[in-house]
Amino acid sequence: MPKVTRTRARLSDGREIVYYDETAGRVPVLDPRGLPAVEPRCETRRDPLTGDHVTITAHRNTRTFLPPADRCPLCPGGPASEIPDPAYDVAVFENRFPSFDARTPEVSPRVDGAAVFARARGAGRCEVVCFTDDHGASTALLPLSRVRTVIEAWTDRTAELSALPGIAQVFVFENRGVEIGVTLHHPHGQIYGYPFVTPRTERMLDMAARHRAATGGELFAGVLAAERAGPRVVRAGEHWTAFVPAAARWPVEVHLMPHRHVPDLVALTGAEWDELAVLYRDLLRRCDALYGAPLPYVAAWHQAPVGEGRDLVRLHLELFSVRRAADKIKYLAGSESGMAAWINDVPPERGAAALREAF
């Protein structure tokens, strides 16, 4: 695989943009837009009944929503583009409408002055990762060299965000499809540097700690061994296994897990990166082949928190879709949304068989 070259620049409002190129020699083009400085207003409030952090970001309600292709902010060099250069391989920039931002002002520690309603400034960082300058492409159809470049960009950004003050966890993800709620069609993903450990990861930490106390073993290793011996493996390699989990929540859901314990993308070896590029692209192609059309999905990389539980939470991908049939969507209604009690209409064994047979 080609060596990736990193080039840093600034957009006209001061936000950072980083290019990851498969060939060296980029001289960044200056951003001609003359944008005003970003003034984010991000805060987190703690739900006193569940302990969950809820982020409040009024400025995001005005973000760009499904613009026409000629006004796409992720296409290179256009009049509305966030990327001034006329071409790029992979580009990463600070989100113009962030959920978390270190520049957000201080807030009072209590909502309405009530001690039961804890509040904090939403410091952190949110970045957009553009996988290609081709507006009509998809991640599943990128060449392996580009998928490998995307993985290197994810890894580099994970390392950089993890080192920033106040970042508790780094989340790499891709939303794809209007059914999921995307606001831009151009192939891209995002990275969040959270100022707190997310509720899902807190639950994983708790379950992994309980398992270790009860058995002395690693929970993720036990899950992987059981899945590899069962009927839900979709594809396995030397370093990774893709499987539909026994307790899958979604009608289409597949996890991709490394065979050894690593807390995050940064801890992977070059060989693990290489195989990951092959298996990740393969999974996306299988998903698109399920119904003969691009599948709406979320591809979510679970990484251990920056400062705790790094021996408990293993890096893994959870890829899932709301589509439960070619012409049907699974909506999160009363049981899921109201009580967080999941009901799946597709048996995981059937889902795994469909993915094995696809593509």
User: Any idea which residues carry the catalytic annotation?
Assistant: 188
DSSP letters along 204-260, please?
HHHHHHHHHHHHSS-HHHHHHHHHHTSTTEEEE-SSEEEE--TT--SSEEEEEEESS
Neighbours of 314 (CB within 10 A): 24
Give the angle 325-320-340 at the CA atoms, nearest 5°.
Answer: 95
| Residue closest to 8 by CA, chosen among 283, 137, 17, 265 | 17
In Å, how far are 68, 77, 188, 255, 261 from 184, measured between CA atoms?
9, 17, 8, 25, 35
118 DSSP 8-state letter: B
Residues 179, 295: Cα–Cα separation, whole Å: 9
Contact present, 309 and 324 (Cβ < 8 Å): no
Contact present, 351 and 286 (Cβ < 8 Å): no
In Å, how far are 253, 281, 328, 339, 349 from 199, measured between CA atoms?
20, 29, 29, 15, 28
Work out whether the CA dihedral 226, 342, 280, 200 comes out positive or negative: negative
Neighbours of 72 (CB within 10 A): 19
Contact present, 206 and 214 (Cβ < 8 Å): no
Phi, psi dihedral angles at 312 (to 5 degrees): -110, -40
User: SS3 for 292?
Assistant: coil
